[in-house]
Amino acid sequence: MAKIKIVTDSSVTIEPELVNALDITIVPLSVMVDGVLYSDADLKEGEFLRLMKESTNLPKTSQPPVGVFAEVFEELSESADYIVAIHMSHALSGTIEAARQGATLANANVTVIDSSFTDQALKFQVVEAAKLAKEGAELEEILKKIEEVREKTELYIGVSTLENLVKGGRIGRVTGLISSLLNIRVVMQMDNHQLQPIAKGRGDKTFKKWLVELEEKLKTAKVAEIGISYAGTASFANEIKERLQVFVEKPISVLETGSIIQTHTGENAWAILIRYN
């Protein structure tokens, strides 16, 4: 029976107890705030938003160095026959390219996969792969499951400001300018590696109106799991949980997203991650 290890990056939003129980390896990205470099793994909940508020410039995120990936893969290969590395979308970061380069340098059997997502949508793939690996599944079965989960996942994000997304080059400047002038809230869906606006309007009622539309959609859907992530306060995320829990048996995870995501979303953002059966 082949021994398989699962690797991901710190853009994943996941419960620490799951990481430990499923023996998942997380390679941290870095974030620079006013010239000081922090490992994403070292920043505690709430700490990064405080640093970002006090910063004069938008923090800059950077993927792990190629050499770090090579070292991680080499080390894991000592106790594993295969390594499956699942990372955030190439459209959001160069992390997956660094992982691919690291894999070519390492004396290890590494399969690098673009999840097409990030945050808890990335978690869905990582956790399902890690469960199968722990059960002793073959590599092909794990890869097939990852693809299946990816195909049945949706990622929605709501932002209260587009300033960080514009500064970070994730959306066009004209859209961002309109948003800041009109106090517009925007809901976006990640589709084919790109964030596409699907609802916008003034004030938080925009979010609540869109949420009603999502509830209507979920009434006829078969949902495997839902995750809710947030940047800043958890109040709206918890409200979403109360409204969506009826559509899924598994308890909904409400988690604060990490510094990598918060850099781009700014404060008072949230995400709904859905995996269908």
Residue-range domains of the chain with CATH? 4-29+64-151 (3.40.50.10170), 153-276 (3.30.1180.10)
Q: 33-79 pLDDT, tens per residue?
A: 888 888 888 877 677 878 888 887 878 889 999 999 999 999 999 99
Dist. CA 157–CA 174, nearest whole Å: 20
Residues linked to residue 110 through DSSP beta bridges, in sequence order = 83
| CA 142 vs CA 4, 6, 65, 105, 158: distances in Å | 9, 10, 27, 24, 32
Give the pLDDT of residue 174.
Answer: 45
pLDDT of 255 > 60? The answer is yes
| Mean pLDDT in residue range 242-247 | 98
pLDDT tens per residue across span 115-158:
999 999 999 999 999 999 999 999 999 999 999 999 999 999 99
Mean pLDDT of 203-208: 91
Q: Cβ distance 135 to 1 under 8 Å? A: no
For 71, counting Cβ atoms within 10 Å of its Cβ (0-12 exposed, 13-18 middle, 19+ buried), the class is: middle
Higher-confidence position of 91 and 165:
91
pTM above 0.75, yes or no: yes
Give the number of other CB atoms < 10 A from CB of residue 154. Answer: 18
- For residue range 257-272, list pLDDT tens digits in order: 988 888 777 778 999 9
DSSP state of 160: S
- CA–CA distance, 275 with 277 (Å, rounded to integer): 7
* pLDDT recorded at residue 77: 98
User: How much is the pLDDT for 34?
Assistant: 86
Phi-psi region of 58 (alpha: psi -120 to 50; beta: other; left: phi over 0): beta
Residue 237 is predicted with a pLDDT of: 97
Q: Tell me the per-residue pLDDT of 170-194, one tens digit each, with 9 for 90 and over.
A: 555 445 555 555 568 889 999 999 8
User: What is the bridge-based pairing of β-strands 24-27 and 4-9?
Assistant: parallel
